[in-house]
Amino acid sequence: MSAYAVTALMFLSMLFLMGTGLPIVYCLGSVGTLAAVFLWGEGALDIVYFSTLELMNNIVLSAVPLFIFMGFVLHESKIAKDLFDTVYLWSGRLRGALGIGTVLICALMAAMLGVSSATVLSMGVIAVPAMLAKRYDKRLAVGIVQAGGALGFLIPPSMMMVMYSFLTGVSVGRLFAGGIVPGLLLAGLYVLYIAVLAWLRPEAAPALSEEERAPLPVRLRSLAALILPLALIFSILGCIFLGVTSPTEAAAIGAIGAMFCAAVKRRLSLAMLRAACTQTFAICGFAGFLIIAALIFSKVYTGLGATAMIRRLVLGLDPDPLAVMAVIQLSFFILGMFMDDIAILFMCMPIYIPIITGLGLDPVWFGVLFVVNMQMAYITPPYGLNLFYMKAVAPKDVLLKDIYLGALPFIAIQALLLILLMLFPQLVTWLPNRIFS
C-alpha cells in the first residue's frame, strides 16, 4: 500500500472515530497502533513502549507539571482575588477601567500560571460577577475573561511552548522570549478595544460612581498585593533569560515560590496543597496519555515516509513562503475548532516542521504563530475549552449564546495579531535574538 493511501486511510479512520464521540486520545492511539500492526506485524507494538519511554525520559516536559502545580497553588491561595481587589480600587472615573484592569490581571496571571484554565476559573468567579454588578455588558464581561485567560498560551511560562520545544528541539528560552512582545501587544489590543467600546457605548462599560471610588491612601496600600506576584514572575523569567537555570529548574523555583507566596499570605495548608495536586495530576495525566497516543500516531505516519513525501511535494512546487504559512495557519484554525491543542501539535508538527525548515523560515517564529492560533482555538466555538470553563463558573443569567458571542470580537483581535506577526516576523524574533545572541 502506498504512503498516500495509508495516509488517507489513517486520517479518515481517525476522523470517523472522532465523529462517534470517542475521546481524541483513543482515536489517535488506536489508529496509530492498529496501523503499525497492520503494516509491520506484531513486533510493531514496541512503538507503544518506546513512545511511553520517550515521554518519561524527557527532561524538558518535567517543567509542565511544575508550572501547572505553581498555577494551581496560586489559584487555590486566592492571590488572583488580591490582584483583582487592587484593580477594583484603582478603577475610578475612567469608563471601561474595570475591564481594562481585568485584562492586565489576566496578563499578570498568565506570567505566573502558564495554564489557561486556572486563570479563566479564577477570574470567572471573581471578575465577571464584579463587572456585571457594575452594569457591564455581560457579553463583554465574559469575553474579557475568556480572551484574557488565553494569554497564558502566549506569555511565558507557556505549557504549549514547552511541548512544542519537546517535539521540535527548539530552545524553550527562545520561545519564551519570542512570546513576550506578541503577548504584551495582544493585551494592549484588548485594552484598546475595551477603551474604544467604552467611549462609543458608555453603557457597555461604565465607570465607578463617585461613592464607590476609594481614597488615595487606600489605593496606595493596595499596591502591596503586587509585590509577591511580580517577584515570582521576575525570578522565573530572570533565571531563564539570564542563563542562571534551565526552564525546568526555573519551573521548580516557581513551584517553591508559589508555596512561599501562599505561606506569606497565611493560606498554605494541606487542604490547599491537596486540591492543587489533584488538579495538577488530572491535567498532567490527561496530557500524558494524549502525548503518548499522538507520538504513536506521528511515529507511524513518519515511518511510512509520508512526512518526507509531503515535504518533497510542497517544496517541489517552489511556493511563496508567506502563502504556505497562511495555508498552514488556516489549517490550524480549522483543526482548533474541533480538536485538542496537544493532538494538533503532535499530529501536524512532523508534517509542517520539515516544510518550514525547508523554506528557510524561523521555527521560533512558526512556534509563536502556532501558539497564537491555539490561543484562538481556546475561545473559538464549538470546541473552545475556555467557553466551557466560563459556562461552568458564570452566573446563571449568562447563557451559552452570550459566552459564544462575547468571544467573537476577541477572536477577531487575535486574528489581527496573527496577521501582524506573519507580516512582521521581527515582532517575534527581535527579543530572542537580543537575549540569546
pLDDT recorded at residue 309:
67
Q: How far apart are CA 370 and CA 236, in angstroms?
A: 24
Q: How far apart are CA 167 and CA 350, in angstroms?
A: 8
Q: How far apart are CA 165 and CA 333, in angstroms?
A: 21
pTM of the model: 0.82
Residue 78 φ/ψ region, left for φ over 0, alpha for ψ in the -120 to 50 degree band, beta for the rest: left
- In whole angstroms, how far apart are CA 381 and each of 116, 144, 356, 400? 16, 16, 29, 10
pLDDT recorded at residue 417:
95
- In whole angstroms, how far apart are CA 25 and each of 151, 205, 352, 371? 25, 42, 21, 21
Q: How far apart are CA 362 and CA 345, in angstroms?
A: 17
With vertex at residue 201, the alpha carbon angle to CA 195 and CA 205, rounded to the nearest 5 degrees, is: 60
pLDDT tens across the length of the chain (437 residues): 566 677 777 778 877 887 787 777 888 888 888 888 887 788 778 878 777 887 777 777 777 788 888 878 877 787 777 777 787 777 767 788 888 888 888 888 777 766 677 778 777 878 888 888 888 888 999 999 889 888 878 888 788 888 888 888 888 889 989 999 999 999 999 999 999 999 999 888 887 777 667 777 877 887 787 888 888 888 887 887 777 887 788 888 888 988 988 888 888 888 888 988 888 888 788 778 878 888 888 777 777 766 666 666 666 666 788 888 888 898 888 888 877 787 788 778 878 888 888 888 899 999 999 999 988 888 888 777 788 888 877 888 888 888 899 999 999 999 999 999 999 999 999 999 888 87
Element (H, E) at 175: helix 172-200
pLDDT recorded at residue 394:
81
With vertex at residue 231, the alpha carbon angle to CA 116 and CA 71, rounded to the nearest 5 degrees, is: 25
Query: To the nearest 5 percent, what fractions of the chain are helix, strand and coil?
Result: 80, 0, 20
Torsion angle of C-alpha atoms 225, 176, 171, 322, degrees rounded to 10: 170
With vertex at residue 146, the alpha carbon angle to CA 145 and CA 152, rounded to the nearest 5 degrees, is: 95
pLDDT recorded at residue 386:
82
Domain segments of the chain as ranges: 3-436
Helix-helix angle 172-200:227-241, to 10 degrees: 140
Contact between residue 281 and residue 97 where contact means Cβ atoms under 8 Å apart: no
pLDDT recorded at residue 292:
83
Q: How far apart are CA 36 and CA 351, in angstroms?
A: 18
- Count of residues for the chain? 437
Contact between residue 257 and residue 71 where contact means Cβ atoms under 8 Å apart: no
Element (H, E) at 416: helix 400-423
pLDDT recorded at residue 369:
94
What residue type is 339 in one-letter code? Answer: M
pLDDT recorded at residue 377:
87
Contact between residue 75 and residue 117 where contact means Cβ atoms under 8 Å apart: no
Contact between residue 176 and residue 158 where contact means Cβ atoms under 8 Å apart: yes
Q: How far apart are CA 366 and CA 356, in angstroms?
A: 8
- Residue 75 corresponds to which cell in the numbers above? 489559584
Q: How far apart are CA 48 and CA 40, in angstroms?
A: 14
